[in-house]
Amino acid sequence: MPADRTSPYGEIVAHTPVDAVTVTVRGAATRVWRYGAVQPHTTVLFLHGFRGDHHGLEPIVAHLVDADPGLRVLVPDLPGFGATPPLPQDAHDLDGFTAWARELATHVPGDVVLAGHSFGSIIATATVAGDAAGFTSLVLVNPIASSALEGPRALTRQVTAAYHRIAGALPEPVGEFMLRNRLVSRISGLALMTTGDRAVRRWIHGEHDRYFSTFATRASLLEAFAASVGHDVAQYAPEVKVPTLLVAGERDDLAPAAAQRTLLPRFPDARLVLLPGTGHLAHYEQPAEVAAAIAAGLS
């Protein structure tokens, strides 16, 4: 693919082998991007966060595959986001997403490393909790260690929750406008950025403008939002029986470092890597460092 000249990671992403397939999972035509080796020694299934799609994880994936060409990394668009339509029969709650993730994994040959960023970290943890058959390990990037409605910026997130409630109560065209308004993604980006690099900040805003409003329907988005603020990784950690790697940002206000340290011993077998100088957008601001931490955990 041609390099994105606006992206600080455009060259490495452009040189990463990739194709895309559509797999029917829980009745939804799930679009999955496949990066890296065709005959891999390790396969990683990586779930993106709320309102994102596969594009947000490409900088991490490109650095991972560059470091280890024997890896295969699969990044699906979650149901209701990007190129994947909503689930036709299941709700877009945590049960719906985990059922979808488990079924998707059955389409992958061999054992799988399950990974997730942000909201994807909740889905990934809940997916392997209790029954990790088919999964060898768990990788969580910027994991939601405690309730999203608590922490240093609890008031801001409570306002966000109220905004979504209002958008759901108003007539659909008005609610859709509120949820797809670029100002919302701009404010969200400003609240989460920690980098002082102006070029990177502009690119992150551009990524949010391009992809944060590609959700399918108001209903599926609001269900997913409720799932994202109604659950956290800590709820499921004690039931995870596979080795787990947590990669978190020391300046993450949404998933604070203190909460990560509290979360760590809740897992039977886990270790924590804290990245200095970055927050919740580590996948945009420090993808090489995230990839290096994951690669070390896979070796």
pLDDT of residue 150: 67
> What tens digit of pLDDT does each residue of 212-237 get?
999 999 999 999 999 999 999 999 99
Phi-psi region of 223 (alpha: psi -120 to 50; beta: other; left: phi over 0): alpha
Question: Hey, how many other C-beta atoms are within 10 angstroms of the C-beta on 262?
Answer: 13
Tens of pLDDT along 6-24?
899 999 999 999 999 999 9
Q: 10-298: CATH homologous superfamily?
A: Alpha/Beta hydrolase fold, catalytic domain (3.40.50.1820)
The greatest distance separating any two alpha carbons of the chain, rounded to the nearest whole angstrom, comes to 52
Q: Quote the pLDDT of residue 151.
A: 61
Q: What is the pLDDT of residue 20?
A: 98
The conformational region for residue 118 under phi > 0 = left, psi -120 to 50 = alpha, else beta, is left
3-state secondary structure the chain: CCCCCCCCCHHHHHCCCEEEEEEEECCEEEEEEEEECCCCCEEEEEECCCCCCHHHHHHHHHHHHHHCCCEEEEEECCCCCCCCCCCCCCCCCHHHHHHHHHHHHCCCCCCEEEEEECHHHHHHHHHHCCCCCCEEEEEEECCCCCCCCCCCCHHHHHHHHHHHHHHHHCCHHHHHHHHHCHHHHHHHHHHHCCCCCHHHHHHHHHHHHHHCCCCCCHHHHHHHHHHHHHCCHHHCHHHCCCCEEEEEECCCCCCCHHHHHHHHHHCCCEEEEEECCCCCCHHHHCHHHHHHHHHHHHC
For the chain, the average pLDDT equals 94
pLDDT of residue 50: 96
pLDDT under 70: residue ranges of the chain:
1-2, 5, 149-154
136, exposed or middle or buried, with CB in 10 Å at 0-12, 13-18, 19+? middle
